[in-house]
Amino acid sequence: MARPTILLTGAGGQVGFELAQSLARHGEVIALDHAALDLADADAIVAIVRQVRPNLIVNAAAYTAVDRAESDSAAAFAVNARAPGILAEEAKRLDAVLIHYSTDYVFDGQRTTPYAEDAPTGPLNVYGASKYEGECAIGQAGAHAVVFRTGWVYGARGRNFLLTLLRLAQERDEIRIVADQYGTPNWCRTLSEATAAAVAPGLPWLAERSGLYHLASAGATTWHGFAQAIIGDAPRPRVAGIATSEYPTPARRPAYGVLSSRKFEATFGYRMPDWHDALAACRSEMPAAPAGAG
C-alpha cells in the first residue's frame, strides 16, 4: 500500500500534538486543530473527511473539561458522542480505519483491581457518559475502528495536573491533593508512541485488530501519589493528602480507574512503560523549575 493519508483531529491537544509527530513516521498526516475542524459541526466533519479521503482517521479531539461538561452537556455530547459516530460512518464509507480515544471515566470506580475491557460501565458524570456514548456510536457504525481507553493524561504543554501542580508549587508552601482516587498517570507521548506502534505494521493489520483496548502506563497511584512523585524530595511544598469529600467538584469522579493494558500489549506486541519512568522522561524534556521553587 502507498503511504497512507492520516486525518488527525484535535491536533492542538496534548495527545493530538504528540500524534502529529509520531504518526508522521507512518503516513502523510493532515493535522487539524479545533480552529481547522470544529467537531461540533457535523457538516464540517463530513465535508473534510470527503475532501481528504484519508486511509486512517485518528480522533484526538474531545470535550475534556470534565466539570464544565456537567452544565454544558449538549456541547460535550456533540463532540464526544455524535462526532465520533460521524467519523466512524465516514470511515466505513471510505473503507478507512478509525482510531479514537475514550476514558476510564466510563466506569463507576467501585472496583479495586484493574479494569479489563469487558468490565461493566457506569459513568458517574456527563463527560464519562458522553465518551461512553461515543464508543457506542462507533460500534454501531460498523467501521474498522480501534478505541483506546486511557486516563489521567499529562504532558509538557496544555492543561493538565503536572503543569498545574508545578505552578502551585511555586506559589504555596502546602498543597492539598485528593488521596482516595486511584488511577494511572499517562504521558501523552506514551499514548502517541503506543498508537504509532499499532499503526506501524500497516492498516490492514490494524483493521483486523479492530476493537476496544485499555491503554495506560503500568502501575497505579492516587492524585496525591502523583503529586508526590512530581514534587520529589524537594523541601517544599508539603503535599498533604485529603479526601474527595474535602474537595467538592461539579462532576463526580470514580474512586478507582486503573486500566489493565494486557489486551493491548498482547495484541500489538507492545509493552507499556511504568508511569514513574514516563514521568521522568517527560520531566527530562521540560525546563527545570526556577531556583527556590522546590
Catalytic positions, please? 127
* Start-end of H helices in 108-160: 126-141
* Closest approach of ligand NAP to the CB of residue 25, in Å: 19
Residue 282 or 294: which CB sits closer to ligand NAP?
Answer: 282
Which residues contact ligand NAP (rule: CB under 6 A)?
10, 12-16, 34, 37-40, 60-64, 79, 101, 103, 131, 150-153, 158, 188
Residue 192 or 294: which CB sits closer to ligand NAP?
Answer: 192
> Alpha carbon of 235 to those of 129, 145, 232, 293, 294: distances in Å?
41, 48, 9, 10, 6
Residue 119 or 293: which CB sits closer to ligand NAP?
Answer: 119
Q: CA–CA separation, 186 vs 198, rounded Å?
A: 17
Packing angle of the helix pair 42-52, 83-94 (nearest 10 deg): 30
DSSP one-letter code for 80:
I
Q: Per the omega criterion (within 30 degrees of 0), is the bond before 248 cis? A: no
* Buried-state track 88-119, b at ≥16 Cβ within 10 A, e below 16: bbbbeebebbbbbbbbbbbbbbebeebbeeeb
Residue 52 or 294: which CB sits closer to ligand NAP?
Answer: 52
Residue type, 172: R
Q: Is 226 exposed, middle or buried (0-12, 13-18, 19+ CB in 10 A)?
A: buried
Position with the least CB separation from ligand NAP: 13
Q: Where are the beta strands (DSSP E) in 33-103?
A: 56-59, 97-103
* Closest approach of ligand NAP to the CB of residue 150, in Å: 5
Residue 55 or 102: which CB sits closer to ligand NAP?
Answer: 102
* Closest approach of ligand NAP to the CB of residue 188, in Å: 6
* Closest approach of ligand NAP to the CB of residue 265, in Å: 19
Q: CA–CA separation, 40 vs 78, rounded Å?
A: 5
Residue 185 or 294: which CB sits closer to ligand NAP?
Answer: 185
* Closest approach of ligand NAP to the CB of residue 63, in Å: 5
Alpha carbon 127 to chain centroid, angstroms: 13
* Closest approach of ligand NAP to the CB of residue 292, in Å: 30
